[in-house]
Structure 1
Amino acid sequence: MNTSNLVSTPSIPRRFAACLYEFVLLFGIYFITGGLIQVLFTLIGQKTPIWFTQLVIFLMFGFYFTYSWRKAGHTLAQKTWHIQVVQLDGKTLLTNKQAWLRYILSYFGVLPALLLLYTQIHGQISASGDNATAVYIQTIGFLSLNCVALLGTALMNSERRTIHEVLSETRSVYFTNKNSR
């Protein structure tokens, strides 16, 4: 990585835009992973345990993020918005430990929305089960709000690092040279 191209820490709107794009990509991973799990359990004649599906999807998301950060310093969404995740020196890619720690800690930003989704779906299934679309729309809105709140923690840090960046000893950097990626 050429540090002469380093301009600054990415702005909150830039990071949020990357988050929104990331949600779209993660939906694809979620859909494919969930579908494969469902097919596998159907083939063996078993009901799919929800906890198993959630665990596998959590791990698949983790592999996507950690592999991307360790290999190139960015996911596809981050690359599109010229954001790279590096160690504190501003140029070294993450270690495996840092990548997984950053991934796990980032869940604090979306945990409230995931808990809302879980409780809403349970309530909908036990009540009428016909309002799932509204629940998902509410959850997407709440996920976006949680994402903004997590990114907002950067406003409390002099280096504009979010809480999960501080705790994992990583940082996000913005590059203007599009050819360096």
Structure 2
Amino acid sequence: MNTMPLPAPAWRRFAAIIYDVLAVVAIVMVVGLIAQIATGGQVADGKGHIVAWWYQPLQGLVVGAYFFFSWTRGGQTLGMRPWKIRVVSREGGAVDVKRGLVRVVVAGLPVLLLMLYRVTSLQVALLAPLVGWAVILLPALFDARRRGLHDMAAGTEVR
């Protein structure tokens, strides 16, 4: 009898997310330091407003690359390794480039909500992506394979 492996429990996935948040903070700090060194400290003005148009897209690209390469080269981010979970294709194989890109794009969409800071408060703009990620992950509570919207769109799951 050929049965599919069980999807990873929610608590292990959440623990991996917490670990990955720490990794992302470190990545953002390193990219920020390199950008400051490369521009002679001209990334932001005296009030702390970002003036380099390329800085935030660069941050997003580097963070997206971290997840993309982690998922397509071994199926695990740094946060997933201690919890022994991995992203796999629906069939249980490795995540290919197409699935990796779809997963990164869909999972990254809530970051665009940060642009709300131009029309609302910074608090709302910082809370909006968290709400967006909750919406993306919410189906995992009801789906038999515990897939979020990004998994459904990419044809992946976490085991």
Q: TM-score range by the shorter chain?
A: 0.7 to 0.9
The CA deviation at 1:51 is 3.2
Question: Could you tell me which residue of structure 2 aligns to residue 95 of structure 1?
Answer: 96
* TM alignment of 1:41-60, pairs within 5 A: 41-42=39-40, 49-60=51-62
Q: Which runs of 4+ in 1 moved over 6 A?
A: 45-48
The CA deviation at 1:61 is 0.9
The CA deviation at 1:142 is 6.3
Q: Indicate if the aligned counterparts of 2:110 and 2:130 stay in contact, CA closer than 8 A.
A: no
Deviations 1:91-118 (A, max 9, x none): x111112112101100235554x345x3
Is residue 81 of structure 2 the alignment partner of residue 83 of structure 1? Answer: no
The structure whose RCO (Cα within 8 Å, separation 6+) is larger is 1
Q: Which residue identity is paired with 1:158?
A: A
Number of equivalenced pairs: 152
* TM alignment of 1:15-164, pairs within 5 A: 15-42=13-40, 49-90=51-92, 92-112=93-113, 114-115=114-115, 118-119=117-118, 139=126, 146-164=132-150
Give the unaligned 5+ runs of structure 2.
45-49
Q: Indicate if the aligned counterparts of 1:16 and 1:151 stay in contact, CA closer than 8 A.
A: no
Question: Could you tell me which residue of structure 2 aligns to residue 10 of structure 1?
Answer: 8
Higher helix proportion (structure 1 or 2) = 1
CA distance in 1, matches of 2:64, 2:17: 15
For normalisation by structure 1, the TM-score amounts to: 0.70
Q: Which residue identity is paired with 2:102?
A: L
CA distance in 2, matches of 1:144, 1:75: 20
For normalisation by structure 2, the TM-score amounts to: 0.78
Q: Indicate if the aligned counterparts of 2:43 and 2:52 stay in contact, CA closer than 8 A.
A: no
Q: Indicate if the aligned counterparts of 1:12 and 1:152 stay in contact, CA closer than 8 A.
A: no
Partner of 1:80: helix, strand, or coil?
coil
Q: Indicate if the aligned counterparts of 2:67 and 2:77 stay in contact, CA closer than 8 A.
A: yes
